[in-house]
Structure 1
Amino acid sequence: MAANKPEEFDEFDATELPPSKSQLKREMSQLQALGERLVAMQHGQLEQLPIPEPLLDAVYLAQRIRNTREGYRRQLQYIGKLMRGLDTEELEQALHDMDHQSDVQNAFFHQLEKRRDDILAGGDEAIQTLVEEYPSADRQRLRQLYRQAQKQQAENKPPAAARELFKYLREICS
């Protein structure tokens, strides 16, 4: 019986093996989950994404047949099959950017709320700081909204002036 030579095993490269059956199933499940996410989106959002026409038609059909259990399941599988032939990196990047855009918008609104609260707490000093940062801001209107908000708060009325101040801040900071 001949002994195995160690040199034969050194040449083995695991990267040359095809993906396992489990790995292929995981990839197909990810594509199908991406398809489900597309089906859950609105038409306007889908129009903004780089989706080929056959896939877009399949997504629209899945949206229409959502109430039929078996047909909907098969349509999702078909969407996954269509996506196997595509390079989904661009689509995933567009979805990520779309998600990130809402995060940026939320952060912007939080910043505006903080500015409004700073003005309501700091008065003329905070208004002066804002006017220095945004020269297009109308100091008189800011002071007027500040005084109205203070008056409404003292009288326990709804904060209409504070809301108006927020809208004005959004207008000048955009």
Structure 2
Amino acid sequence: MHHLDHDIDEFDEDYVSKTDVKRYMHELQDLALTIIRLPKAKRNKLPLNEELQDAMVLGDKILNKPDALKRHSRFVAKLLAETDVDAIRAEMDVLANKHQQQSKQHEKFEQLREQVIAGGNQEVEDLLALCPGMERQKLRQLVRQATKEQANNKPGKSYRDLLAYIKANYQE
């Protein structure tokens, strides 16, 4: 009978299973595809080294070639394994969050527009207090026209113009 007398501390703490390595590489391949598919303007904001930037140029050329793109994503994943992936992911999160913030801000402006259309004179005055840069006459005119458009179930130009006017003059 063979008896092993090993403590857990003696095992190699740096050991990574083959499954874990594969899982990590698949995550990097997914990240690589995500980065390749990003619009150039967003991708340029990522902290990519020169090698990765060159790889992105090729990625742009083969976006509509699935097999080549899959091979290329494996190559980019290997490059990513040698770089600071956390910094890249953090910047991608910031970019995604900016979009969410812009969406929430847009919703807020739409709510203000709906309130001022539904609320009448008091809401106009409240909005003027919030946005001192607005002209009372122009705001009332836009609200009046937008109200007419809504009454006819045809939100149109004035409805959009009112939103743009609120966006341009809103101050927190």
Shorter-chain TM band: 0.7 to 0.9
Aligned residue for 1:48, secondary structure, equals coil
Unaligned runs of 5+ in 2: none
Q: Could you tell me which residue of structure 2 aligns to residue 38 of structure 1?
A: 35
Partner of 1:90: 87
2:73 corresponding residue in structure 1: 76
> Kindly, what percent of the aligned residue pairs are identical?
29
TM (normalized to structure 2)?
A: 0.88
TM-score by length of 1: 0.87
Q: Which runs of 4+ in 1 moved over 4 A?
A: 1-5, 155-158
| Deviation readout 1:109-144 (Å, 9 max, x if unpaired) | 100000000000001111111111221121211111
Query: What root-mean-square deviation, in Å, do the aligned CA atoms of Structure 1 and Structure 2 show?
Result: 2.3
CA 1:168–1:15: 2 relative to 1, 3 Å: farther
**Structure 1 residue 23 and structure 2 residue 20: aligned?**
yes
Higher relative contact order (CA 8 A, sep 6+): 2
The answer to whether residue 42 in structure 2 is matched with residue 55 in structure 1 is no
User: What is the count of residue pairs matched by the alignment?
Assistant: 171
Per the alignment, do residues 69 and 121 of structure 1 end up closer, same or farther by CA in structure 2, a change over 3 Å counting?
Answer: closer
Q: Could you tell me which amino acid in structure 2 is paired with residue 49 of structure 1? A: L
Equivalent residue, structure 1, for 2:170: 173
Counterpart selection for 2:135 from 138, 142, 148: 138
Structure 1: gaps spanning 5 or more residues: none
Which residue of 2 is the match for residue 160 of structure 1? 157
Q: Which residue does the alignment assign to 1:124?
A: 121
**1:2-43 deviation per Cα after TM superposition (whole angstroms, max 9, x unaligned):** 9877xx63x627782412111111111111111000111122
